Amino acid sequence: MTERITSQMVGNSTVATIETDLNQLDQTQQQLSTGLQINQPSDNPYGAALAISLNGQVAAYSAYQSNVAQGTAWVQSASASLQSIQQTTQTLRELVVQAANGTMSPTDLQDIGQEVLQYTAQIKQSADAQYDGSYIFAGDNVTQQPWVPTATASPPPGQDAFSGNQNSISYAIGPSTQIKVTANLYEVLGNGNTGGTAGSTSSGGGAVNADGSGGLLATLRSVYNDLTGTAGGTQNDLQNQLKNLDTNISALEGLQASMGATQDSLQMASTRLTALSTSAQTDAGNVEDTDMAKATVQFSTEQAGYQAALQSAADIIQTSLLNFLK
């Protein structure tokens, strides 16, 4: 049986074709206006899923990059404080060398003792440095001032209790990758207890003893006592204090070097994250972004086709109406 093609069938087919052309034209126009070739998941389900994954990677790299920036700023602040402590300690050593030559009068030694107090106060001030409101050398107890001078009757500069801790702070700079940004300055300064010798522990040259003795603050306290004759100190012991001071300076240099190495690692991490983020952004752009030149040509072609379809439909409908009137 031969099926008869009616005017209604032709009309329905023409309308369906026009609707398809109009939808495609609207989609291309949307791509041109937004600059995106995927404006909703149905446009390209696989591409949409891939774009979500790539954009998630970009967001993760951005978060890691933020951690790197925070860690770098922290380490730079720590390095600046350590450098200040190191320079002050070198100046103190020069004073001790002068005082140890045996040619100075008791008055001169007393004057140098006062200078030692002033420089010791500068060291403690640098050791209490902060970054963004957090104490850099307090371990992870960043709200607690690490070295607070105690009000005691002991001779100046007195013993200073360490109020922080020796825990470290780390930042995530990649998947399963952490980097420690804190410097354990307590292992160099100690708490001012003069009971031990600098570098006597097995944990490394210049490390303080378990009771906090043997650090730079203890050495400077002993230097003051030897200069002023306080607490049984004598000028003859200054040579021994020079040895302790050299050990403390060596430990301080080691700590500064470790901060430099950490800063180098953070810089390399920043470079790597920038490259990975750029690559992911490029891949996401290739999936999401509209090829404007291609889309413009496609829009012109589809627009012409749509206009032709409208004209054809008008001709068909006009002819069908005349046939009906006849």
Q: What is the pTM of this model?
A: 0.74
| pLDDT string in tens for the chain (326-residue length) | 555 555 556 556 666 666 666 566 566 656 555 656 666 666 677 777 887 888 899 999 999 999 999 999 999 999 999 999 999 999 999 999 999 988 888 899 999 999 999 999 899 999 999 999 999 999 999 999 998 765 544 445 556 778 899 999 999 999 889 999 999 999 999 988 887 787 654 344 557 888 888 899 999 999 999 998 887 778 888 999 999 999 999 999 999 999 999 999 999 999 999 999 999 888 876 776 565 556 566 666 766 666 666 666 666 666 555 555 55
Range of the domain at 172: 56-279
User: What CATH number has the domain bearing residue 71?
Assistant: 1.20.1330.10
Q: State how far the Cα of 226 lies from the Cα of 194, in Å rounded to an integer.
A: 12
Q: How many structural domains are present in the chain?
A: 1
Token pair for residue 1? 């049986």
Does the residue 296 lie in any domain? no
Does the residue 47 lie in any domain? no
Does the residue 289 lie in any domain? no
Confidence (pLDDT) at 15: 65
Does the residue 317 lie in any domain? no
Q: State how far the Cα of 74 lies from the Cα of 224, in Å rounded to an integer.
A: 33
Alpha carbon separation from 157 to 98, 122, 192 (Å, rounded) = 20, 12, 8
Q: What is the 3-state secondary structure (H, E, C) of 37-52?
A: CCCCHHHCHHHHHHHH
Does the residue 5 lie in any domain? no
Does the residue 291 lie in any domain? no
